[in-house]
Amino acid sequence: MTDSNHHRDRQRSREDWVCQIFASGGPMYAHVVGTVAKAELEVASTPDRVDHVWITLDVPPCGSVLLSVNTLSRLNRREGFDPTVRVAIVKTSYAGMPEPFIEEAMGLDYATVEAQFHPRWEHYEHDPLADLLMSKARAALRVEAWGEIYHDPHLGLHQIHSRRASRAVKTDLVGHDGALRFYLRDGHAEMFLFKYCGQP
């Protein structure tokens, strides 16, 4: 992609993205940076269906983009496996904070990140992970995310986790992992990686 095409990709309107999502006919991956408008627990019909934190980003000129971040695996729980999420936090620093944008991207490969930073993985239950994510989002000057873009009816990113096969999901996708990065004050950033039971 040339620099001019790259710039145009980042300047697409909401309507352009919706049209491209429907035209793609399959999963479409995106990379987004925005300022946090809101961070809250998912709204569901019953408490046992709450398995996400919703982080709403302001991403001009596109508008609001909803990040849907899993706090447990209902599929693993339903199949009798461990539903908790393993989280690795990669701490880095930054000199310049990125301006908001959204662009099409292939996603990440956790193997590359792990080989470079050797992060420690910890198991999180739903409540502590939800509290941690909301706290980080509310403190962040910017949030960066990689995931699968969708429209239903809002524009958002989901599948913000490893896409390798898990205990309950046998589809094994390499190089399409999702993640979050929180740009905090004083030049510190924290990248969150997420894995389910059975994912390598």
pLDDT tens, position by position, 63-86:
999 999 999 999 999 999 999 999
Query: What is the residue type of 132?
Result: L
Is 26 part of a structural domain of the chain? yes
> Which has the minimum average pLDDT: 21-30, 55-64, 114-123, 168-177?
21-30
Residue 108 belongs to what domain range?
3-195
> Mean per-residue pLDDT for 81-109?
95
Distances (CA, A) of 98 to 14, 33, 144, 189: 20, 7, 9, 12
Q: Which residues contact 125 (CB under 8 A, 6 or more apart)?
A: 72, 84
**What confidence score (pLDDT) does residue 200 get?**
96
Residue 162 in contact with residue 177, Cβ under 8 Å? yes
Is 116 part of a structural domain of the chain? yes
> Mean per-residue pLDDT for 162-189?
97
Is 16 part of a structural domain of the chain? yes
Q: Which residues contact 117 (CB under 8 A, 6 or more apart)?
A: 90
Is 200 part of a structural domain of the chain? no
Q: Is the pLDDT of residue 5 over 80?
A: no
Residue 186 in contact with residue 97, Cβ under 8 Å? no
**What confidence score (pLDDT) does residue 79 get?**
94
> Mean per-residue pLDDT for 164-191?
97
**What confidence score (pLDDT) does residue 44 get?**
84
> Mean per-residue pLDDT for 29-49?
92
Is 175 part of a structural domain of the chain? yes
Q: Which residues contact 140 (CB under 8 A, 6 or more apart)?
A: 36, 182, 183, 184
Average pLDDT score over the chain: 91
Is 99 part of a structural domain of the chain? yes
The pLDDT tens digits for 157-168 are 999 999 999 999
Domains in the chain, number = 1
**What confidence score (pLDDT) does residue 8 get?**
53
Q: In the Cβ-directed half-sphere of 184, how many Cα atoms lie within 13 Å?
A: 14
Is 50 part of a structural domain of the chain? yes
Q: Is the pLDDT of residue 28 over 60?
A: yes
Q: Which two tokens stand for residue 53?
A: 């934190």
**What confidence score (pLDDT) does residue 107 get?**
84
